[in-house]
Each structure stands twice: as structure tokens, then as C-alpha cells.
Amino acid sequence: MANEEAEKKKNTSSSEAKQPLKTAKKKTLGWMEWLRGWFYLVYEMLFQRILASHLQNPMPLPPINDVTCIVTGSTSGIGREIARQLAEAGAHVVMAVRSTNRAQELIRKWQEEWSGKGLPLNIEVMELDLLSLDSVARFAEAWNARMAPVHVLINNAGIFSIGEPQKFSKDGYEEHMQVNHLAPAMLSILLLPSLIRGSPSRIVNVNSTMHYVGFVDPEDMNVVSGKRKYTSVVGYGGSKLAQIMFSSILHKRLPAESGISVVCNTPGIVLTNVARDLPQFLQVGYRLIPYFIFNAEEGSRSTLFAATDPQISEYCEMLKADDWPVCAYISHDCRPTNASEEAHNIETSYKVWEKTLELVGLPSDAVERLIEGEEIKCRYGNSQE
């Protein structure tokens, strides 16, 4: 694994040295990068099942009886599978969701199905609405007040409103950018005190191969300047790329002694609730090619792997020591892979980091202060300045 990453770094070092000069005037992806991104997407859809054929389904998990996992968006799709399988493996699972009633119904169902197989599942529900940064801040405040550890934070919840017009949250941010990047980034920072208590711990960001066709302008994260035409693909791809860029800087900012690993992963092309936003004729097509597309259980495997495999923390530590520009990225086949060329743009990644903290109302030195055990002020939630 180390040799593989070293070789990748060697191959890209010369281009990265020229990156700041090249990207200073860059306004969007080059057409070669764009075509390469779509090639990766098509390749993943056609061959993901073959590439992941070595994996068991469901994914066997190690004993995790003393592990607390927070899973966002866990009432549907792969999030539901992630929460259920972690709970059945013995973890204390916190379902962080908008619809608490729906989550409670799921828990009742799971407990009935699990009856007689072992101890009752240890699952609870907490309200979290990623379209409200106040809700994110309140969730973090409520959890941190328990003085309880978090061993794994899984930022799973996301949206892809295919073909929909541009929409903004009540906080004023483009919805894809807020739900897929800004809110999870804010949650990750605010939960650092609890993640430190749970050390060694992990932040797992469920990403997407769509980041290969994404582009981020740190000064126009809402895509409103007119420099680029907004489409749902622009919104979604950009949000997923921003997530990797932010995660990469967070990975660098967290000292090794904190014991916190940062991982992004792609679940593959999965038939989940994202399909409900597709045009009707595409939904039909989605269901006509079940061989190529993962179901939710199959799509949960890379996230479960990133959350539980004992070698992940060693891999992240190795990347930190090598000063690799991108955080750990796990493919749908549960193998380390490389993020897009644009994700390696360290200059833009730092700008995305700074802009993200500004937009979610956190100080630029939030990580350093929280690592030192200090309190910070946030523009949102109950602890507003």
C-alpha cells in the first residue's frame, strides 16, 4: 500500500509543483479533465460489480461492542444499512436524522427482527437537519454536553437533486453545497472534543466518483457569479470535490497524537433514494440494469470498511507522514484509490478550507483551539456570539 501511494506521489509531483501558477486563472475543468471524469464514472458503473467481486455481502465486521458511531442520513439507502449493520455488530449507533419518527419506527422493526439473536440493539435517535446550520450546531452542543466519546462519525447524508433548478437553504447556501459539504464539515469540527475522547477515532465522509467532474471556485461556492452555468451536476460534483479538499486539510491540521483519522470513500453507483430525483424514463433505465448497479447493502460496504477496518488508521498515519496532498480515499471495492487531479490542488484546498470555516461561522483556528481543549464560538446554535 505504501509503495502504491509513493509511486502515485512520484508521478504527480511535477504537475503539482506547477499547480499554483496553472490554477490562478482556472475557471472550470479543462475538457480533458471533464472527459476523464466521465470516463471514470462510466467505467465504475460497468465494472464495479466485477472489481468488488472479492467482497462478501453483507460485509463481515470486527467486534465493535465498545464503539459509538454517529451516522447521518440513516433512515434510507446505504445510511440505513450502515446503521443496522453497525448495531448488529455490537456498536452503539446514533441515528442523526431529520425524521426522528421514521428512525424510531426503523429501530422497532430492527429490534423485532434481531430478537433472539443476541443482546438488544443499542441504537438511539437524535435530530439533525443538514439544511439548517443551527440544527448542526445544536446537535454538536447536545452531544458534547454528554462528555461521551465518538469513535466513528459517518457523514453519510447527501442530496443529488438531478435536473432540479438551483435551490438555497434558509442559511443562504446552495443546497448541494450545504448538505454535502458545509454542514458535514461543520459537524466534524464541532464534534472534535468528542472524537478526541474516543481516540483512536475516525471521520468517514461518504463521497462520490462524481467529484471527478466537479470543480470548486472558493469565491463562488454558491455558483451565483455567472462565471459558470449552474446545473445539478455542477452543484453535486462541486460539493463532493469540496468535501475531499476540506477533508484533506483537516487531515493535515489534526496532529498524529489526536488519534483522529479522516477518510473519504465512494460507495459506487448505488440504487438508493437518489434515483427518486431522476426523470421518470431514467428511473426505468436504472431498474433495467440491476446487474451493474449496487443495492444499498452492497453500497454500504466501503463505508463500513472505512469505519471499522483496523488498518485504516495506519494508512492515514502513513499518508500524513508522507505529506500526501489528499486524505485517504477508499474505492467501492474497499481498496485505496486516488482522488481526482483537481482534488490534488493543494492551493485551492486551503482556500476551500478557509472559505468553509468562514461560511459556517467558525474561527480559522478552530481545530487548533479545540485540540488544546479550548472552547470556540460559533455563529450558529445556542452558543452564538
The mean pLDDT values, 10 residues at a time, for the chain of 385 residues are: 45 40 62 90 90 94 94 96 97 97 98 94 98 98 97 96 93 98 98 98 97 96 94 96 98 95 95 58 59 90 97 93 91 96 96 98 97 94 60
CA-wise closest residue to 74 among 66, 84, 88, 61:
84
The pLDDT value given to residue 291: 73
Could you give the CA distance from residue 299 to residue 333 in angstroms, rounded to a whole number?
10
The pLDDT value given to residue 278: 55
**51-83 confidence digits (pLDDT tens):** 999 999 999 999 899 999 999 999 999 999 999
Could you give the CA distance from residue 306 to residue 309 in angstroms, rounded to a whole number?
6
DSSP conformation class of 270: B
Three-class secondary structure assignment of 189-215 = HHCHHHHHHCCCEEEEEECCHHHHHCC
Maximum pairwise Cα distance, the chain:
63
Per domain, the residue ranges of the chain are 36-372
Question: Against a cut of 0.85, is the pTM above it?
Answer: yes
Q: Establish whether 212 is a catalytic residue.
A: no
Q: Does domain 36-372 have CATH number 3.90.930.60?
A: no
The pLDDT value given to residue 6: 44
The pLDDT value given to residue 162: 85
Catalytic position from the list 236, 315, 329, 380 = 236
The pLDDT value given to residue 17: 37
Which grid coordinates are listed for 80? 440505513
To the nearest whole percent, how much of the chain has pLDDT over 70?
A: 88
The pLDDT value given to residue 289: 63
Continuous segment of H or E residues that includes residue 297:
helix 296-299
The pLDDT value given to residue 280: 60
